[in-house]
Structure 1
Amino acid sequence: MRISTIIGIVITVLLTVIIMQNTEPVKFTILFTDVFLPKVVLLAGFSIVSFLLGIWVGRPRKVKRFSDYDHEHDEGSDIRPPSGTLSDEDRDYIS
């Protein structure tokens, strides 16, 4: 097993124990309304929301590839264009 799997299992077990120990109802104020809910519901709800937010924030972003780069607007750059974009005249000059 990988260490990340073991840590995930330990956190899940600890979170489950903490949630199950807190079953009494509590007063929860949402804006101007008082709601009585068991702590289990609140803790589980906030755990799920925070987990989903962590996945959403931590997901990989779309990486801009070199082939997506617009070479027409970068005339003074030292970056070479991909080899598939050379004209026949340029290939003859290089050879």
Structure 2
Amino acid sequence: MRLSTIALIIVIVLLTVIMMQNTEQVKFTILFTSIYMSKLVMLTAFSVVSFILGILVARPGKVKRISDYDYSNDEGSDIRPPAGTLSDEDRDYIS
């Protein structure tokens, strides 16, 4: 098993133990409303929301490619040399 899988299993087991130890009903005040509910329900809800937010934040975004972008200045002239036009000096430097 990979290290990340083992760490995930340990976190889930610890989270389950913590939730099972907190099953009594308590008063939660959310904005202007008071709600009586089990700590287990609230901890589970916050754990699920935190997990979803963690996935959304950690996922990689799309890579933007600029190869087809038009590099032109304000006058409209192309400031990029045409493709495939390297000078001899540039070819010597690359090789």
TM-score (norm 2): 0.74
User: What is the Cα-based RMSD across aligned positions, in Å?
Assistant: 2.4
Answering whether residue 44 of structure 2 is matched by residue 73 of structure 1, we say: no
**Aligned twin of 2:3:** 3
Alignment partners' CA distance in 1, 2:54 and 2:16: 19
Corresponding letter in the other structure for 2:6: I
Alignment partners' CA distance in 2, 1:11 and 1:73: 53
Pairwise CA distance, 1:36: 0.3
Alignment partners' CA distance in 1, 2:26 and 2:72: 61
TM-score (norm 1): 0.74
Q: How does 1:11-90 map to 2 (within 5 A)?
A: 11-67=11-67, 69-73=68-72, 75-76=78-79, 86=83
Alignment partners' CA distance in 2, 1:73 and 1:18: 60
Runs of at least 5 residues in structure 1 that lack an aligned partner in the other structure: none
Corresponding letter in the other structure for 2:72: H
Percent sequence identity over matched residues? 56
Instruction: Give secondary structure in 2 for the equivalent of 1:71.
Output: coil
Pairwise CA distance, 1:71: 2.9
Corresponding letter in the other structure for 2:29: T
Instruction: Give secondary structure in 2 for the equivalent of 1:36.
Output: strand
Aligned length: 82
